[in-house]
């Protein structure tokens, strides 16, 4: 009995020593962040490669059609104007005088035309009377010819004055057009973004091929849209009317409910940049654009496809080759698993095969020591990644 007791004690001490040695040599568990395989919505999306821009549906860089000295400048930056409102007038007193002269010439020509044509009508009636008298042999042929010739001459004078009146009217229209070239009016309602002139300054139109700052920059801020470049690889999948979300640095929450309204029919080939296709996105509800200012930087995310209530995992958990690290709760060890993905975006990836509901995968795959077979301890088990 004493020998058996000694054997039992010896084995116990050896087991304790072995267990202690194993505990001392065992690696420390690596802390990892886990996310469960859940059901939810997954969308395939395409996003812009460079920052997009909020733009106004209408924006005009306005300048007078002719150069000269600014005689009237009734608007300032930030003013809201209506369609047809006066924005600027170039000194035009000489043109205004020409217009008055043309109007006076019209009045004179109209009076002369009336007088001469009345005389022509009277001469025509006299010629008809002489024609009747000549048939009755009451007047000579010579007298009849004289009256007839006078009637035709007066009719020609009437037609000449009518032609002169048309010339005067054309001159009046030319004078009005010349005067209008010195007057700048708002082509649409909007807000004045910039005024590059002062009262008394000289302004000149831009020479061909040489852009200069506009005299007045007018923006229709009641209608806004987003323009953004999409990589040429993603562009073929985008269609008109597809839903999109807009994110802006100036606002914390994205604006969804937007729609693709235009896809450029060409590829932009800009040096040292990826080739892109310009697309435009409009807001579904005008209220969504409230508070936005043309010129804001914006990002867009176009929804190409959508799946509801499918198995999904955070996209950040996926390793190259469609592999994930699955946490085994019984052993605390990570197991590498190959899975079949469906549609995906930067947030979630659809699981078609290889993973089951509520299994947990590692999202902190970039941490040192996180690999298949590693002993780990959950740092955070999220339920809604």
- For residue 343, what is the domain's CATH number? 2.40.420.20
Q: Is the model more confident about 140 or about 26? A: 140
My answer on whether 108 and 172 are in the same domain is: yes
* CATH code, domain carrying 201: 2.40.50.100
My answer on whether 176 and 186 are in the same domain is: no
User: How high is the pLDDT of residue 15?
Assistant: 65
Residue 209 has pLDDT above 80, yes or no: no
User: How high is the pLDDT of residue 313?
Assistant: 94
Q: Is the model more confident about 331 or about 207? A: 331
User: How high is the pLDDT of residue 381?
Assistant: 47
My answer on whether 188 and 248 are in the same domain is: no
Q: How many residues does the chain have?
A: 385
Residue where a domain stops, chosen among 253, 282, 306: 306
Handedness of CA 140, 146, 149, 155 (dihedral sign): negative
Classify each residue of 214-237 as buried b or exposed e, where b means 16 or more C-beta atoms within 10 Å of its C-beta: bbbbbbbbebbbbbbbbeeebbee
pLDDT band at 323 (very low <50, low <70, confident <90, very high): very high
The answer to whether residue 195 is domain-embedded is: yes
* CATH code, domain carrying 227: 2.40.30.170
Q: Is the model more confident about 204 or about 34? A: 34
My answer on whether 207 and 70 are in the same domain is: yes
User: How high is the pLDDT of residue 22?
Assistant: 46
Token pair 């690999």 in the structure block, residue: 371
Phi, then psi, of 258 in degrees rounded to 5: -80, 170
Using one digit for the tens of pLDDT, what is the confidence trace for 241-283?
Answer: 999 999 988 888 888 889 999 999 988 877 667 788 999 999 8
The answer to whether residue 75 is domain-embedded is: yes
CA distances from 347 to 45, 272, 315, 364 (A): 10, 29, 5, 14
Cα 284 from chain centre: 14
Cα 273 from chain centre: 21
User: How high is the pLDDT of residue 227?
Assistant: 93
Question: CA 131, CA 43: separation in Å to the nearest integer?
Answer: 97
Which of 225, 218, 223 has its CA nearest to residue 278? 225
Residue 159 has pLDDT above 70, yes or no: yes
Number of neighbouring beta carbons within 10 Å of residue 339: 19
Which of 184, 175, 186 has its CA nearest to residue 205? 184
Phi, then psi, of 135 in degrees rounded to 5: -65, -30
The answer to whether residue 345 is domain-embedded is: yes
Classify each residue of 127-137 as buried b or exposed e, where b means 16 or more C-beta atoms within 10 Å of its C-beta: beebeeebeee
Q: Is the model more confident about 19 or about 153? A: 153
The answer to whether residue 14 is domain-embedded is: no
Cα 150 from chain centre: 72
My answer on whether 240 and 136 are in the same domain is: no
Q: Is the model more confident about 178 or about 207? A: 178
Residue where a domain stops, chosen among 306, 329, 359: 306
Residue 195 has pLDDT above 70, yes or no: yes
User: How high is the pLDDT of residue 288?
Assistant: 84
My answer on whether 102 and 170 are in the same domain is: yes
My answer on whether 133 and 258 are in the same domain is: no
Q: Is the model more confident about 361 or about 28? A: 361
The answer to whether residue 359 is domain-embedded is: yes
Residue 133 has pLDDT above 50, yes or no: yes
The answer to whether residue 2 is domain-embedded is: no
User: How high is the pLDDT of residue 188?
Assistant: 92
Question: CA 316, CA 330: separation in Å to the nearest integer?
Answer: 24
Q: Are 374 and 28 in contact (CB under 8 A)?
A: no
Q: Are 62 and 206 in contact (CB under 8 A)?
A: no
My answer on whether 317 and 343 are in the same domain is: yes
* Count of alpha carbons within 13 angstroms of residue 61, beta-carbon side: 7
Share of the chain above pLDDT 70, in %: 89
The answer to whether residue 142 is domain-embedded is: yes
Residue 290 has pLDDT above 60, yes or no: yes
CA distances from 97 to 101, 104, 184 (A): 6, 11, 19
Tell me the average pLDDT of the chain.
85
- Domain of 152 in residue numbering reads as 93-180
The answer to whether residue 279 is domain-embedded is: yes
- Determine the average pLDDT of the residues in 92-111: 89
At 114, list the tokens: 């009336």
Its pTM stands at 0.64
Token pair 């095969």 in the structure block, residue: 353
Q: Are 259 and 284 in contact (CB under 8 A)?
A: yes
- Look at the chain and report how many structural domains it folds into: 4
User: How high is the pLDDT of residue 270?
Assistant: 72
My answer on whether 98 and 175 are in the same domain is: yes
Tell me whether residue 307 is exposed, middle or buried, using C-beta atoms within 10 angstroms of its C-beta: 0 to 12, 13 to 18, 19 or more. middle
Which of 25, 343, 75, 113 has its CA nearest to residue 218? 75
My answer on whether 283 and 261 are in the same domain is: yes
What angle do the packed helices 141-180 and 93-135 form, to 10 degrees?
A: 160
My answer on whether 349 and 230 are in the same domain is: no
My answer on whether 278 and 320 are in the same domain is: no
Cα 227 from chain centre: 4
- Determine the average pLDDT of the residues in 223-227: 91
Residue 215 has pLDDT above 50, yes or no: yes
At 219, list the tokens: 């923006």
User: How high is the pLDDT of residue 385?
Assistant: 41
Residue where a domain stops, chosen among 196, 214, 232: 214
Using one digit for the tens of pLDDT, what is the confidence trace for 42-74?
Answer: 988 888 888 899 999 888 888 888 888 999 999
């Amino acid at each position: 009995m004493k020998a058996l007791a000694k054997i039992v004690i010896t084995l116990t001490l050896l087991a304790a020593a072995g267990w202690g040695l194993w505990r001392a040599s065992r690696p420390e568990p690596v802390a990892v962040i886990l996310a469960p395989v859940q059901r939810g919505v997954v969308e395939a999306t395409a996003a812009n490669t460079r920052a997009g821009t909020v733009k106004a549906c209408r924006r005009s860089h306005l300048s007078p059609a002719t150069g000269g000295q600014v005689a009237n400048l009734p608007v300032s930056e930030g003013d809201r104007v209506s369609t047809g409102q006066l924005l600027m007038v170039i000194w035009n007193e000489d043109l205004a005088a020409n217009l008055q002269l043309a109007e006076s010439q019209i009045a004179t020509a109209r009076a002369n035309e009336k007088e001469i044509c009345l005389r022509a009508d009277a001469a025509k009636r006299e010629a008809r009377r002489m024609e009747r008298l000549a048939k009755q042999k009451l007047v000579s042929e010579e007298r009849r010819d004289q009256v007839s010739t006078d009637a035709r001459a007066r009719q020609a004078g009437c037609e000449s004055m009518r032609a002169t009146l048309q010339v005067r009217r054309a001159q009046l229209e030319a004078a009005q057009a010349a005067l209008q070239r010195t007057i700048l009016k708002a082509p649409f309602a909007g807000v004045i973004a910039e005024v590059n002139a002062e009262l008394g300054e000289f302004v000149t139109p831009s020479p061909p091929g040489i852009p200069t700052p506009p005299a007045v920059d007018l923006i229709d801020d009641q209608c806004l849209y987003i323009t953004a470049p999409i990589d040429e690889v993603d562009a073929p999948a985008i269609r008109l009317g597809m839903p999109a979300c807009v994110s802006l640095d100036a606002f914390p929450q994205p604006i969804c409910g937007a729609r693709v309204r235009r896809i450029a029919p060409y590829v932009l080939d800009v040096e040292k940049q990826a080739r892109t296709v310009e697309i435009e996105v409009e807001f579904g509800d005008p209220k969504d654009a409230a508070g936005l200012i043309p010129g804001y930087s914006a990002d867009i995310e176009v929804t190409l496809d959508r799946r509801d209530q499918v198995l999904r995992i955070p996209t950040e958990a996926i390793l190259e080759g469609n592999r994930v690290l699955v946490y085994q709760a019984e052993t605390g060890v990570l197991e590498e698993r190959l899975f079949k993905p469906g549609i995906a975006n930067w947030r979630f990836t659809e699981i078609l095969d290889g993973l089951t509901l509520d299994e947990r995968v590692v999202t902190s795959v970039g941490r040192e020591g996180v690999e298949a077979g590693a002993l780990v301890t959950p740092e955070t088990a999220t339920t809604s990644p």
